[in-house]
Amino acid sequence: MKIPVVLPRGEKKMLYFDGYTHTLLSFFKNAVHNHNTSVVLLFDGRSGMGKTTLSNQVGIFLDPNFDLNKMFYTPDTFLEGLNNAKKGDYICFDEAMILSNRAAISKVNKMIVIAMSMIRSKQIFVGFCINSLFDLDKNIAIFRSEVLFHVYGDTLIDRGRYATFFKGKDTENKLKKLYLLGKKYYDYGKPFANYVGSFTKEFVVDEKEYERQKQEGVNIFLKGIETKSSKRKDERITIAMFRLSKEGYSHEKIGWFFDCSRQTVSHRLVILEKSQFAAC
């Protein structure tokens, strides 16, 4: 079905959504706006298959104010954007082809764990565009995500299709089964998807500016360049440590997330509890 939307540049468009997808997204919309919850959506697939295109279309449907300011390409900027998110926002992390080595994957997984501790009461939508579901930590993929949209095609120019995996009304969690059965061989064949849908090539944000920002994000990530002052980054890290500790994570586990010792975590939390940030 076609849904009228106003794109970030002010242009009015009719975006196509598969009927099942429209129903699913409408359910998520109701959950976020009328219940105290947030929704996590995953988009994966080979580079060039359109996962960012689909994510952006979903984003503009869920959040009419979605634009490039809500897309992030590095863990640090994403966590900052998440911290500033308002009710009903769609915040997207686009892997931007940085997941080419295990160190990068580990950093992004740690970032997602921290993000999960930040979103519970925010009532927002969070989208992750990643190369593969199977690169994610098991707990994130199975227990913290509502749906996977796996974009695919038979050739490099065959685009516009996706398979959707989630826990259906029959209580069968196909996303969980897919992760457990497919991880060894990166195989999306079992179980069968809840449904298969299609999408158009409409890019809802400025594509040239997106490509510029994405490349900038890749350069920052690969070169390790800080985008904000070290003081502000330290404050965000300490607040994230505080939230994780309240969720029951041990100081040792938190230290693993941030590549520091248990003693460093304890020291930061003691200081935090004496400061204004304890109210966060």
* CA–CA dist 67, 98 (Å, integer): 22
Q: What is the per-residue pLDDT for 80?
A: 85
98 pLDDT more than 60: no
Average pLDDT, the chain: 86
Where do the H-state alpha helices sit in 90-137?
102-119
Q: How far is CA 191 from CA 129, 176, 216, 239, in A?
A: 22, 10, 38, 40
pLDDT one-digit tens code per residue, 147-178: 999 999 887 778 899 999 998 876 789 999 99
Task: List CB contacts of 150: < 8 A, sequence separation 6 or more.
Answer: 44, 45, 133, 162, 163, 164, 165, 188, 193
278 pLDDT more than 50: no
Cα 165 vs. chain centroid, distance in angstroms? Answer: 16
Q: How far is CA 240 from CA 83, 119, 134, 262, in A?
A: 10, 11, 25, 15
Which range has the worst mean pLDDT, 81-85, 111-115, 142-146, 248-252?
111-115
Q: What is the per-residue pLDDT for 176?
A: 94
Q: How confident is the model at residue 228 (pLDDT cuts 50, 70, 90)?
A: very low
Q: What is the mean pLDDT of residues 83-97?
A: 87
Q: How confident is the model at residue 113 (pLDDT cuts 50, 70, 90)?
A: confident
Q: How confident is the model at residue 102 (pLDDT cuts 50, 70, 90)?
A: low
Q: What is the per-residue pLDDT for 277?
A: 44
Cα 278 vs. chain centroid, distance in angstroms? Answer: 26
Whether the CB-CB separation of 31 and 181 falls below 8 Å is answered with: no
pLDDT over 90, % of the chain: 45
Q: Model's pTM, two decimal places?
A: 0.80
Select, from the ranges 117-121, 160-164, 226-230, the one with the highest average predicted confidence (pLDDT): 160-164
Q: What is the per-residue pLDDT for 63?
A: 97
pLDDT one-digit tens code per residue, 255-275: 888 888 888 888 888 887 766
Q: What is the CA angle 56-214-256, rounded to 5?
A: 95
- In order, the DSSP letters of 235-250 are HHHHHHHHHHHHTT--
* CA–CA dist 122, 205 (Å, integer): 24
Choose between 164 and 11: higher pLDDT.
164
Residues composing the chain: 280
22 pLDDT more than 50: yes
Is the Cα dihedral 210, 215, 221, 225 positive or negative?
A: negative
**What is the strand order of the sheet 161-166 is part of?**
71-72, 90-94, 125-130, 39-44, 147-152, 161-166, 195-198
221 pLDDT more than 80: no
> Which two three-digit tokens encode residue 153?
């095609």
Where do the H-state alpha helices sit in 124-189?
138-143, 174-182
Q: What is the per-residue pLDDT for 222?
A: 66
pLDDT over 70, % of the chain: 89
> Which two three-digit tokens encode residue 3?
């849904």
